[in-house]
Amino acid sequence: MQRILLLGGTTEASALARALAAAGVDAVFSYAGRTEAPVGQPLPLRIGGFGGVAGLLDYLRAERIGAVVDATHPFAAQMSRNAVEACAVAGVPLVGLQRPEWRAQDGDRWQHVADMAAAVAALPEASARVFLAIGKQNLNGFAAKANHYLLRLVDAPLAPPLPDCTVVLARGPFEVAGDLALLRDHRIGWIVAKNAGGAGAEAKLIAARQLGLPVILIERPALPARQVLGTVEAVMGWLGHADLGV
Which residues sit at the interface with ligand NAP, rule CB under 6 A? Answer: 7-10, 30-32, 34, 49-52, 55-56, 72-73, 75-79, 82, 135, 194
Q: How far is the CB of 184 from ligand NAP (least distance, A)?
A: 25
Please, which residue, 135 or 214, has the CB nearer to ligand NAP?
A: 135
Rounded to whole angstroms, the Cα distance separating 101 from 114 reads 14
Please, which residue, 41 or 147, has the CB nearer to ligand NAP?
A: 41
Q: How far is the CB of 167 from ligand NAP (least distance, A)?
A: 17
Q: How far is the CB of 189 from ligand NAP (least distance, A)?
A: 23
Q: How far is the CB of 245 from ligand NAP (least distance, A)?
A: 27
Please, which residue, 223 or 242, has the CB nearer to ligand NAP?
A: 223
Please, which residue, 78 or 227, has the CB nearer to ligand NAP?
A: 78
Please, which residue, 7 or 235, has the CB nearer to ligand NAP?
A: 7
Q: What are phi and psi of 135, to 5 degrees?
A: 80, -160
Nearest to 73 by CA among 205, 201, 226: 201
Nearest to 135 by CA among 151, 150, 112, 124: 151
Q: How far is the CB of 213 from ligand NAP (least distance, A)?
A: 21
Q: What are phi and psi of 195, to 5 degrees?
A: -80, 75
Q: How far is the CB of 79 from ligand NAP (least distance, A)?
A: 4
Please, which residue, 21 or 244, has the CB nearer to ligand NAP?
A: 21
First to last CA, the chain: 17
- Say if CB 4 and CB 21 are below 8 A apart: no
Q: How far is the CB of 13 from ligand NAP (least distance, A)?
A: 7
**Hey, which bits of the chain come out as E strands?**
3-7, 27-31, 45-47, 65-70, 94-97, 109-113, 126-133, 146-153, 165-169, 190-194, 214-218, 228-229
Instruction: Quickly list DSSP for 33-96.
Output: --SSSPPP-SS-EEES---HHHHHHHHHHHTTEEEEEE---TT-HHHHHHHHHHHHHHT--EEE
Please, which residue, 8 or 213, has the CB nearer to ligand NAP?
A: 8
